[in-house]
Structure 1
Amino acid sequence: MNFSALIGNPVGHSIGQDIYNSLFMDYGIDSMYIAIDLHRKNLPRFFDLSRGNIEGFNITAPYKEESIQFIDYADKIVSDTGSVNLVKNQGGKLYGYNSDYAGFMMLARKNNIDFSGKNVIIMGTGGAARTVAYSIMQNYNSNISIVSRNPGEKKIYGIATTGYNDIKEYDIIINCTPLGTFPDTGMPIPENMIHNGITGIDLVYNPSRTPFLKIVEKNGGIPVNGEDMFIGQGIETLKKIYGITVDYEKFYDIFHENLRSK
């Protein structure tokens, strides 16, 4: 038996291990997926040990950016975004991929979201935010603004980060922060700044309706949670690490079965 994992801090909200282990049983894969709540000081040692003891692993916040220094090879999207969230161990060499890109594009397709010609606000500046901005810039012609708690500290693809007070008119707002993830009830943006009739996307999938999305819906907007992004990157994970192709409907059914029991 081999094993794979999710690393991050925290990881208690994730249902990934239940989903992947269910799929392993269905496909007869002799493996186990575990979630590791990893402290930052243990990150280098984990990567060293993973070269001999693990098939591959996913990376979640807050380690998507700093993990790049520990891998041997990076795909183009990792190199372009500066964010890695999937690692495959091949003979002791660590190959890094960015499956968030595939996940976000699946979210856009499944929810019929067209970013073209839209004013888009991205909340957050971490690995997920970088990948979301990259995905939109590569596939659509949009006007993107990036909002940070510390505006002006850095640029993302030449876009200067701004603060809440700089938010003006927008069509779509995307929460790329962990705010609202179970059991947190925080909001990425003050309620009075959520305009009527906009599309609100939250990369959080647990709960399915975060406080942010509830306000979007109350204001007559379109709320979209992060489940399709999770499913898309999960399908990519299984393909890269185990070489199996799982269709959307099967992953969707197992996702919701496990989310209900969480």
Structure 2
Amino acid sequence: MKKWYAVIGDPIAHSLSPFMHETWFKENGIEASYIPVRVEPADLAKACESLLLMGASGFNVTLPHKQAIIPFLSGIDETAGSMNAVNTVIRKDRKFFGLNTDGDGFVQSLLTTEPERDAKILVIGAGGAARGICFALSRANFENVTIANRTYRRAEELAEETDASAMTIAEAEENLGNFDIVIQTTSVGLAEDEALPLSISNMKSDALAADIVYNPIETPFLKAAEAKGCRTLSGVGMFVYQGAIAFEQWTGKKPDTEKMIQLITETLGGNYVNR
């Protein structure tokens, strides 16, 4: 029986996950398919039951379901538990189990820039994406991490969990020149006319500016940082690497991430990273 996989979310039509995974199935000679499924929040429990009943071999989870799906799974791994969020589901013995590959996907993308392990890193935001990234940075032995968030208490709580430091946004703006890597994890920047998550006037010109958003490929944050002469890292790498980790969990095969980064970049009409 041909295996099939899916991505669920609301909305979901914009997702490039079907393109990515279908391409990898073909490249690896795997008889499988991957489909997008729009699931409204009220229908999440029924959707999980239906995916299991209809024989889905696994699926990805995107907004707004990453936290809400947890009660409908038979278990989650340690990473998903620490993040309280799931983005990948695998099937074992007629049961679904949740993982989270977002943070490790980001770190794999970051490592392509060859950062120093003692680099001073600022993470802007303290939501689900920031949690995954902070935990993954800690596992990768990046020990000099500071978290800044508009609600300072949330930054403080995440910092306590990950052995990081916390700052207010105002403090981060004032001390921005001290950081080697600045990672933008908030939803600010999805629209071209949105304001930046913080003023970057004090960012040093040799810093690396990273954004987890992959569409648009050049966010207002990255454009502003590039104008200051900074290197930039778009969210394309994180998107591809987190997907590759899921693909390997499902199939046991490592896909060609370098080629996929190029394909996604071309699809989005942009230029990729590390410049």
The secondary structure found in structure 2 opposite 1:34 is strand
Matching of residue 189 in structure 1 with residue 211 in structure 2 = no
Structure 2 CA distance for partners of 1:82 and 1:254, relative to 1, 3 Å: same
Pairwise CA distance, 1:174: 0.9
Match among 212, 217, 222 for residue 226 of structure 2:
217
* TM-superposition CA deviations, 1:203-238 (whole Å, max 9, x none): 112222111100001112111111221221121121
- Is the 2:103–2:134 Cα contact (8 Å) retained in structure 1? no
Q: Partner of 1:166 in structure 2?
A: 171
The secondary structure found in structure 1 opposite 2:247 is helix
- Is the 2:119–2:180 Cα contact (8 Å) retained in structure 1? no
* TM-superposition CA deviations, 1:113-146 (whole Å, max 9, x none): 235241x222222221101111122223434332
- Is the 2:217–2:268 Cα contact (8 Å) retained in structure 1? no
Rounded to whole Å, the distance in 2 between the matches of 1:229 and 1:122 is 15
Q: Which runs of 5+ in 2 are unaligned?
A: 271-275
Rounded to whole Å, the distance in 2 between the matches of 1:180 and 1:230 is 16
Q: How does 1:119-158 map to 2 (within 5 A)?
A: 120-153=121-154, 155-158=157-160
Q: Partner of 2:273 in structure 1?
A: none
The size of the alignment, in residue pairs, is 259
Identity among equivalent pairs (%): 26
The secondary structure found in structure 2 opposite 1:152 is helix
Structure 2 CA distance for partners of 1:4 and 1:149, relative to 1, 3 Å: farther
Structure 2 CA distance for partners of 1:5 and 1:149, relative to 1, 3 Å: farther
Q: How does 1:81-120 map to 2 (within 5 A)?
A: 81-118=83-120, 120=121
* TM-superposition CA deviations, 1:67-107 (whole Å, max 9, x none): 22222122222223322211012232112112123312211
Pairwise CA distance, 1:186: 2.6
Rounded to whole Å, the distance in 1 between the matches of 2:20 and 2:266 is 9
Structure 2 CA distance for partners of 1:187 and 1:174, relative to 1, 3 Å: farther
The secondary structure found in structure 1 opposite 2:4 is strand
Provide the TM-score with structure 1 as the length reference.
0.85
Q: Partner of 1:74 in structure 2?
A: 76
The secondary structure found in structure 1 opposite 2:91 is strand
- Is the 2:196–2:220 Cα contact (8 Å) retained in structure 1? no
Provide the TM-score with structure 2 as the length reference.
0.82
Q: Structure 1 counterpart of 2:261, which letter? A: Y
Which stretch shows the higher mean deviation, 153-162 or 245-254?
153-162
- Is the 1:15–1:259 Cα contact (8 Å) retained in structure 2? no
Q: Which runs of 5+ in 1 are unaligned?
A: none
